[in-house]
Structure 1
Amino acid sequence: MVSVLVVEDDYVQRKNLVEMICESDKNLDIYEAQSMQEALKISKETYINFFYIDIMLKDSSGLNLASELRKMEIYKFTWIIFITTHVKYMLQAFKEIHCYDYIIKPYKKEEIIETTRFLVSGKYRYSIKENENKYVVFILQDSISVKLDVDEIFFIEVNLRKVTLHTKKGKYQPKKMSLAKALTIINSDYILQSHKSFAVNVKLIDKIESISTKLWKVSFVNYKEKALLSYKFKDAVAEILTKSI
């Protein structure tokens, strides 16, 4: 049986949320907590498949609770859905906690049911070994945040000190970003620096063609634009490329 833990310090709101979750699947095993300590106690005594956590708890922050859960090996990659009235905390949540999603108060029953059914279905599962950081968030030039699936990033390009993320959804230019910082945020074993101005997703490489004795052109599956691979980085890229084949 799939188990869910709802952490919300407001009794009425917690009961409303539990009722909505129950509508999505009558067979769920739902646990309730009103504080960080109570939530941690339940999580240690019973395995929880996913969490709904209010960002603002009376005795602590939902982010602090999530951080403590992430320190426990069994919850290192468990999906967490934050409940909040404060969207400003969500960038921190995606970057530091790697949460699945967030829901804005007041709750919309349809959103709760849809999210719960999706998680219960198991369609969210992915290989932890292949990609430990499923989603990342970047702040764009106009201060709008974009949430990206790491697997959808073809490559990262630096031109005139501006970083461009080439993805399956389009191109994005994060604000105040360097190539090194972008790679740190993404934190994927499969996205590697290939040139002083490029980093590539090795899993999406279609072919590598020689330009000169120390420079190669990298093509990607179903994407027209190219990246560069220099002699300095070719061995590291080749090693991961070989493992991914």
Structure 2
Amino acid sequence: MARILILEDENTSRTALKKMLQNISAEITVDAAADLAKARLLLGSTVSFDLFFLDVNLEPEKDGDTSGIRFAEEIRSMRQYEFTPLVMITSVAGLEMEAYRRLHCYQYVVKPYVQSEVEEIVRKVLFHLHAGMRPSIMVKRNGVNYKIFCDEIMFCRAIPRGVCLQLKNEQIEVPYLSIHKLLEKLPEGMFFQCHRTFVVNRSAVKYYDLVNQVIQVEGSSEWIDIGVTFKPEVRRILYGEKQK
């Protein structure tokens, strides 16, 4: 899966670009913003973006407007997006080359959009994304977004008004996130729910006892309960792993 953010003030151009991107692959999710306020809300949310398409001039009635470049600078100031591909959208080729180099932009495109050009850019980004992909999730804590690699998560436990992520070397409490919402973020097949309050990384399981209904993971002495309603699915998953 890949997620793309478009910042484009012109409704017709924004709609056309969004449709082009969605037609490339069913694995692409596109979020589109018409102004900086909406774009900043998306950037500050818990989702993570793999590619940005940013219109340089968001207020064409203002001479020399480069608000799209300012937003690109905001993106680059965030640690998780230091090297994320940026594609700048412009009406005049070469006009913003200095900013293009300074912000390490991946490429720029000139309006009107050409399907083949957009598709080539996205396919190259997707290729590199999948080639070096390490699954991760974004969680928000104390107003700050954190990127957590999924192979670092041993198990997760529901706590009052949130969840606790047990990582290899630390615990992180994430408020206002339910087990159900957490499962939606995690890669399919990498984790399983064994109890209404527990989710376990299947590769971290060290020991399990279906009679006493407990699981233990690597690096932890804590016993994780297996709920009665989850027992058949846990048996299928873990017994199947044992047979491989």
Alpha carbons 2:4, 2:28 under 8 Å: kept: no
Alpha carbons 2:4, 2:51 under 8 Å: kept: no
| Structure 2 Cα separation of the partners of residues 146 and 110 of structure 1 | 26
Q: Pick from 193, 207, 215: which aligns with 1:217?
A: 215
Match of 2:104 in 1: 112
CA deviations over 1:172-207 (Å, ceiling 9, x no partner): 3222122122223336233221112201121x2242
Are positions 1:137 and 2:138 aligned together? yes
Match of 1:201 in 2: 201
Q: Pick from 41, 45, 65: which aligns with 1:88?
A: 41
Q: Following superposition of structure 1 onto structure 2, how do residues 229-240 of structure 1 map, counting pairs within 5 Å?
A: 229-240=226-237
| Structure 1 Cα separation of the partners of residues 158 and 11 of structure 2 | 44
Cα 1:67–1:150 change in 2 (3 A) is: farther
The alpha carbon displacement at 1:66 in A equals 4.8
The alpha carbon displacement at 1:150 in A equals 3.5
The alpha carbon displacement at 1:157 in A equals 0.6
Q: Following superposition of structure 1 onto structure 2, how do residues 115-130 of structure 1 map, counting pairs within 5 Å?
A: 124-125=129-130
- SS in structure 2 of the partner of residue 163 of structure 1: strand
Structure 1: stretches of 5+ with no match in the other structure? 1-49
Structure 2: stretches of 5+ with no match in the other structure? 55-70, 74-98, 108-120
Match of 2:115 in 1: none
| Structure 1 Cα separation of the partners of residues 237 and 13 of structure 2 | 39
Match of 2:154 in 1: 154
Cα 1:105–1:124 change in 2 (3 A) is: closer
Alpha carbons 2:205, 2:215 under 8 Å: kept: no
- SS in structure 2 of the partner of residue 125 of structure 1: helix
- SS in structure 2 of the partner of residue 213 of structure 1: coil
Q: TM-score, with normalisation over the residues of structure 2?
A: 0.52
Q: TM-score, with normalisation over the residues of structure 1?
A: 0.52
Alpha carbons 1:81, 1:100 under 8 Å: kept: no
| Structure 2 Cα separation of the partners of residues 62 and 151 of structure 1 | 37
Cα 1:62–1:137 change in 2 (3 A) is: farther
Match of 1:57 in 2: 9
Alpha carbons 2:139, 2:174 under 8 Å: kept: yes
Match of 2:112 in 1: none
Max Rg structure:
2
Alpha carbons 2:195, 2:225 under 8 Å: kept: yes
| Structure 2 Cα separation of the partners of residues 51 and 184 of structure 1 | 15
Cα 1:172–1:56 change in 2 (3 A) is: farther
Match of 2:27 in 1: 77
What is the root-mean-square deviation of aligned Cα atoms in Å? 4.6
CA deviations over 1:210-244 (Å, ceiling 9, x no partner): 3x834212213xx4364433343233134334269
Q: State the number of aligned residues.
A: 180
Percent identity over the alignment is: 16
- SS in structure 1 of the partner of residue 43 of structure 2: helix
* Paired letter, 2:25: Y
